[in-house]
Amino acid sequence: MNLLRKYEGKPGYSTVAGGKGSTLKLLELGILNLKTGESFDDETGERELGAIILQGTCSISGSGFEYANIGKRRGVFGGRAFAAYIPIHTKFRVSCLENCEIALCHANTNEAMQPVLVKDSDVITGEGGVLNWRREVHSIIDERINVSKLCIGEAFNYPGNWSSFPPHKHDVSDLPVEGVMEEIYFFRFNMEQGFGYQAVYTDDKSIDEIYRVENNHAVEIARGYHPYVGAPGYYGYLLWIMAGEKRGFYRRTEPKHAWIDASEVLVKKNMR
């Protein structure tokens, strides 16, 4: 089983992960790469869309909405994201004002919602974890934003640190503890040669994968635990996209590592 996908930076729209023939039933990630003055027209069909601006400046418009001159981002390490949510069965246009890359995050749904602009000032930032699993977390499309299935955010890994740690999963319907959620991770690094390692494994080891992830790699996570660690010396970026039975972080820590959750609480208390 190969869950690793690679984006090659081609002009226009490229499907990167999910979609037909993948391990995922709900999600698809594509990257839209446009030069200044170019535009892209599409229709969402039976999928809602979260457009996350990774770089550049653009305008996004459609029936009943127009979000002009948004983004202004020098890259994923160059400030908080702008995002546009576009509901099902909606035609839209992306007009590039300054060379741009946009992550188009699709999720299958039958719920008709309303378009939403998420400004950089709407993005909630904070830190997750402690010690060498501490990272900066940006919540872009979360429970505050009225959409159907999607949850989207960004994590910024300090060199050598872990994310999605302690290992957790969300592939069993046992709310409010754990919910069934598919996920895609998309990686970038502050230097071209940066890298890290992504694991995906299940309790019964029917999935037991480890990938060396580099710039523009993605990993599909339909089920299983999925911890990630970055190489020392390189700041890592992780775009995470989730969709499933209920929006939110309903997840279960791998039982043999659950003691780390308790130790994290103690460390944070002692740091005050």
HSE, side-chain direction, 13 A CA sphere, residue 265: 4
Please state the domain count of the chain: 1
Q: What is the pLDDT of residue 271?
A: 55
pLDDT score of 268 more than 90? no
CA separation for the pair 22, 131 (Å, rounded): 35
Answer yes or no: is 196 within a domain.
yes
Is 4 contained in some domain?
Answer: no
Within a domain: residue 182? Answer: yes
Per-residue confidence (pLDDT) for residue 123, from 0 to 100: 97
pLDDT category at 269 given cuts 50, 70, 90 is low
Q: Which position has the token pair 């089983």?
A: 1
Helix, strand, or coil (residue 183): strand
In whole numbers, what is the pLDDT of the chain averaged over residues? Answer: 95
Q: Is the pLDDT of residue 132 over 60?
A: yes
Output the pLDDT for position 77: 96
Percent of the chain with pLDDT over 90: 91
- Locate 242 and state its tokens: 């989730």
pLDDT range class, residue 270, cuts 50, 70, 90: low
Write out the DSSP string of the chain: ---EEE----SEEEEEEESTTSS-SSEEEEEEEE-TT-EEEEE-TTEEEEEEEEEEEEEEEETTEEEEEEEEESSTTSSPPPEEEE-SS-EEEEEEEEEEEEEEEEEE-------EEE-GGG-EEEEESSGGG-EEEEEEESTTS--SS-EEEEEEEPTT-EES-S-EE--S-BTTTB--EEEEEEEEESSTT-EEEEEEE-TTSSSEEEEEEETTEEEEESSSB--EEEPTT--EEEEEEEEESSSS---EE-GGGTHHHHHHHHHHHHH-
With cut-offs at 50, 70 and 90, classify the pLDDT of residue 45.
Answer: very high
Residue 197 lies in a domain: yes
pLDDT of residue 261: 83
Residue 265: the pLDDT is 59
The reply to whether 102 falls in a domain is yes
Q: What is the mean pLDDT of residues 192-211?
A: 97
Q: How far apart are alpha carbons 204 and 200 in whole angstroms?
A: 12
Beta bridge partners of 125: 138
Compute the average pLDDT of residues 212-224. Answer: 98
Of residues 224 and 271, the one with the higher pLDDT is: 224
What is residue 44's predicted lDDT score, i.e. its pLDDT? 97
Residue 247 lies in a domain: yes
Q: What is the CATH number of the domain that holds 207?
A: 2.60.120.10
Q: What is the mean pLDDT of residues 101-111?
A: 97
**Mean pLDDT value of segment 213-240:** 98
- Which of 55, 235, 227, 85 lies closest to 149, judged by CA? 85
In this structure, are residues 186 and 16 in contact, taking their beta carbons and an 8 Å threshold?
yes
Would you say residue 66 has pLDDT above 70?
yes
Look at residue 206 and tell me if it is in a domain.
Answer: yes
User: What is the span of the domain harbouring residue 199?
Assistant: 9-271
123 inside domain: yes
Averaged over 56-78, what is the pLDDT? 95
Among the listed residues 62, 52, 23, the one whose alpha carbon sits nearest the alpha carbon of residue 219:
23
Model's pTM, two decimal places? 0.95
Check residues 263 and 215 and name the one with the higher pLDDT. Answer: 215
